Structure 1
Amino acid sequence: MKLTVIIPTLGRSEQVARLLRYLSGQTRLPDEIILSAPDATHVELPESCPFPVSLVFGPKGLAAQRNSALARALGRSDIITFFDDDFVPSAEYLEQIERAFAENDGWAVVMGMVVRDGATNAGLTWEAAEAALREAEGKEHDGPPVVDHIGAYGCNMSLRSSLVGDLRFDERLVLYGWQEDIDFTSQMRSKGRVVCVTSITGVHLGLKTGRVSGERFGYSQVVNAIYLIKKGSVPASFALPLMFRNIAANLAKSLRPEPYVDRRGRLRGNMLAILHVAMGRIEPEYILKI
């Protein structure tokens, strides 16, 4: 099977170079890596790689950048793996992904288990990620080995290329694209299972550079959820609890916010979005005006 890795990136050129060097140690090397960025200033390549690296430049925004690279990968890949530029996979990650698809014809999307996620805290160092992967190595997971999901976590998700068809990431979910991964992969469920294989592991560093403002992000936390419910790609039973948890967290922590999260900005964005939704205005791209 031919396996292509796509890495969308923005403002993290040094991180991209380090990730490419790290991926050289995979037990199953990718057949190609495609970096998707707004322009060349966002990309730094190591002196040499044991796999071909292609560059795709186009409109800024996670959904748009994913689509630009997807157009290049479709038709010449059996498996398309998306990594965030701050995701650190275990050394056997791609080998296990290939085996998962080869042995399970009914699987459309496969993601690994994130053993530590810096997106939920101040972020992790590369050294902390490698230590977490060593700790997880050979450790049995308490739950089932395969877990079905509504959609996949975009920091690490792999698609069976032949099932993608005309499906693309929704570019109305602009900039950071909040929930664009769930929107896309939940639609893949009509073609096969969307699963997490818990023996496939990685760490999400959760770097804070390259993110959108707190107010923009807070607006997306509400409007994107409502938009996807109305679109019909994500069930309300998933989107609404997520939305309310985020609003509650922003409200509760706005008095004493974490230094690495703009809680007050997020809360302002939440409130503006609630007002717009009440007025019947459901426009994810409004954050471009904030």
Structure 2
Amino acid sequence: MTPAAELSVGIVIATLGRAKNVATLLDRLALQSLLPACVVLSMEGAEDAPPARTYPFHLIQLFGPRGSCQQRNRALDSLPPDIDLVLFLDDDYVPSRRLIAGLVRFFAAFPAVSGASGRLLADGVGGPGITPQAAIALVESEDAGEERASLSVSPPHPGLYGCNMAYRMAAIGHSRFDENLPLYGWQEDIDFGSHIAGPLVYTDAFYGVHCGEKAGREHNGRRLGYSQIANPWYLRRKGTMPARFAHRLMLRSMAANGARLLNPEPWIDRRGRMIGNWLAVRDILLGRADPRRILEL
């Protein structure tokens, strides 16, 4: 068992069009009871970067083509060689002050675990979103309580939740995110997890809030709708997503888009997603479905 004090943590944040959210996240990371060794911001352009300031950790800023998989891969390649744990955070995630401390405590206590996602106090991705101010209030309220003496660990899962997922660098090795899943990279977290040897679990050892910020997301409903069908189909054929899981995912997306077609949420382009769903179904029947076709839509 490796002592928690000896585990170094690198944080990867792939971001696009959310400079304010990133600034909030970096400010929260600066308040950690245990600081990360480094934080990597992987961006498309300078407009994605937060205002310049000094942080109590090493900040690496990278620029290159957009796409969550591409951006995360660039960040992985830039991590110092002495990093033991890498934590992938969405740019609209608001962490507890005890996030890093809980993370290293967990991995020290469970040496057989290769990856873990923490507890979400709230997740705004399925609704209109949670403001950073409201998210900070939630985590501060939770942090005011006593730290849990025991650590929970779930049964193994096929993949982790991309907004907050941590892996041992030794388990990752040369594995990388599939860049054939462009832009938002729908289901890239499941695909990535399939390449990791060892259990992937969920725990309450570290926690935060996923705001579900709508700015900067893929607002082209056709593209996301196409990805909802084409990406699981591609991953099923690739062998990194079980067929039953992929089919259920595709049917669930089509059912949700169809059910809300006449009364859509203001923040979701249901009509565009439904069109994208059917375009992908057509391409599957024609034998030409490919996640990269969203770049043509």
TM range (shorter): over 0.9
Matches within 5 A, 1:112-131: 112-131=118-137
Q: Which amino acid aligns with 1:155?
A: C
The Cα offsets for residues 43-83 of structure 1, whole Å up to 9 and x where unpaired, read as 12442211110111122100000000000116231111110
Cα deviation for residue 39 of structure 1 reads: 2.0
Give the fraction of aligned pairs with identical amino acids, expressed as a percent: 43
**Higher alpha-carbon deviation: 166-175 or 108-117:** 108-117
Q: What amino acid is the match of 1:50?
A: P
TM-score, normalised by the number of residues in structure 1: 0.94
CA distance in 1, matches of 2:185, 2:245: 17
Match of 1:103 among 106, 109, 119: 109
Q: Report which stretch shifted further, 209-218 or 36-45.
A: 36-45
Check the 8 A contact 1:74/1:161 in 2, yes or no.
no
Kindly indicate whether residue 29 of structure 2 is the aligned counterpart of residue 23 of structure 1. Answer: yes
**How many Å apart are 1:131 and its aligned residue?**
3.1
1:1-290 counterparts in 2 under 5 A?
A: 1-73=7-79, 75-134=81-140, 136=142, 138=145, 145-147=152-154, 148-188=156-196, 191-212=197-218, 213-290=220-297
Q: Does structure 2 conserve the Cα–Cα contact (< 8 Å) formed by 1:108 and 1:192?
A: yes
SS of residue paired to 1:238: helix
The CA deviation at 1:133 is 2.6
The number of equivalent residue pairs is 286
Instruction: Give the gaps of 5 or more residues in structure 1.
Output: none
C-alpha RMSD of matched pairs (Å): 1.8
Shift of 1:239: 2.0
For the residues of structure 1 that align with 2:92 and 2:228, how far apart are their CA atoms?
21
- The 8 Å contact of residues 87 and 203 in structure 1, kept in 2 or not, is answered as yes
**8 A Cα contact 2:24 2:94, kept in partner:** no
Letter of the 1:9 counterpart: T
1:102 to partner: Cα distance: 1.6
The TM-score normalised by the length of structure 2 is 0.92
Code of the aligned partner of 2:257 = N
* 2:4 corresponding residue in structure 1: none
SS in 1 for 2:66: coil
Distance 1:201 1:260 in 2: 26
The CA deviation at 1:200 is 1.9
Q: Distance in 2 between matches of 1:229 and 1:264?
A: 26
**Per-residue deviation at 1:15?**
1.6
Runs ≥4 residues deviating over 2 A? 130-141
Q: Is the 8 A contact 2:226 2:276 kept in 1?
A: yes
Aligned in 2, Cα 1:222/1:47: closer, same or farther, shift over 3 Å?
Answer: same
Unmatched tracts of structure 2, length 5 or more = 1-6
Equivalent pair of 2:11/2:39 in contact (CA under 8 Å): yes
Query: Is the Cα–Cα contact under 8 Å of residues 17 and 46 in structure 1 kept in the other structure?
Result: no
Distance 2:279 2:137 in 1: 41
Shift in Å, 1:187 = 2.0
Structure 2 CA distance for partners of 1:103 and 1:145, relative to 1, 3 Å: closer
